Amino acid sequence: MDSQSSNSSQDSQDSALTITDENRSEILYFAYGSNLSTEQMRQRCPYSTAVGLGKLSGWRWIINERGYANIVKQVDEEGKGEGEEESHVYGMMYLLPTEDEERLDGYEGVPWAYEKVVLEASWVSSSSSGDEKEEDNNGGGEELTPVKVLAYVDRKRTAEGRPRGEYVGRMERGIEDAVGNWGMKGGYADELRRFWVDGL
């Protein structure tokens, strides 16, 4: 990696809140695309560790015109009805050490394809992730723990598009992993699949 990538990596290290001991040099990475697949992440970033599901409020998940997953900040619309739900994105959260962050920068095409940003997410237990409101089995609201996460965002290409053929298979593997092993709700998974499955 060039010096610019290394500096960018250090910047995110300094600004992201970790859930590890102070002497550790890992950050929380929020994966919302094909890196939902823990197998793919093991291949790309062998020292990373999957730690659970997270939620970004006020963001919207899309396939952009490049044919890859992206998240777009929700714009407040005038006349939005009371009680209307805020957009949200669910993703896998990984502990990411410095050396794996540099590898991931390469896979994500930093800085031309994606930019690295630090966002505030909510730590979500696997039983409450998905497309439903954050309520426990007793009908009460669940208090979600806020955490700082590293995310890769394409600010230049924010229009909806169709996914590349090879990307669909990788997304399906990631979705199956998140639903089957980490408690992501099927309804939320279907919201993602509508970009490549007609009729959803």
Catalytic residue among 22, 39, 102, 108: 108
* Residues paired with 83 in a beta bridge: none
Q: Is 31 annotated to bind ligand?
A: yes
Q: Is 32 annotated to bind ligand?
A: yes
182 in Cβ contact with 80 (< 8 Å) = no
| The token pair that represents 48 in the structure block | 């990373």
Q: Is the peptide bond before 111 cis (omega within 30 degrees of 0)?
A: yes
| The token pair that represents 114 in the structure block | 């994606």
HEC secondary structure over 104-126: HHHHHCCCCCCEEEEEEEEEECH
Q: Is 199 annotated to bind ligand?
A: no
DSSP 141: B
Phi and psi at residue 165, to the nearest 5°? -55, -45
DSSP 33: S
Question: Does residue 78 carry a catalytic annotation?
Answer: no
Q: Which residue has the tokens 């590349």?
A: 164
Q: Is 29 annotated to bind ligand?
A: yes
Burial class (CB within 10 angstroms; exposed 0-12, middle 13-18, buried 19+) of 108 = buried
Q: How far apart are CA 87 and CA 173, in angstroms?
A: 24
User: Which residue ranges are tagged as binding site for substrate?
Assistant: 29-34
For the annotated catalytic residues, the residue numbers are 108
User: Which residue ranges are tagged as binding site?
Assistant: 29-34
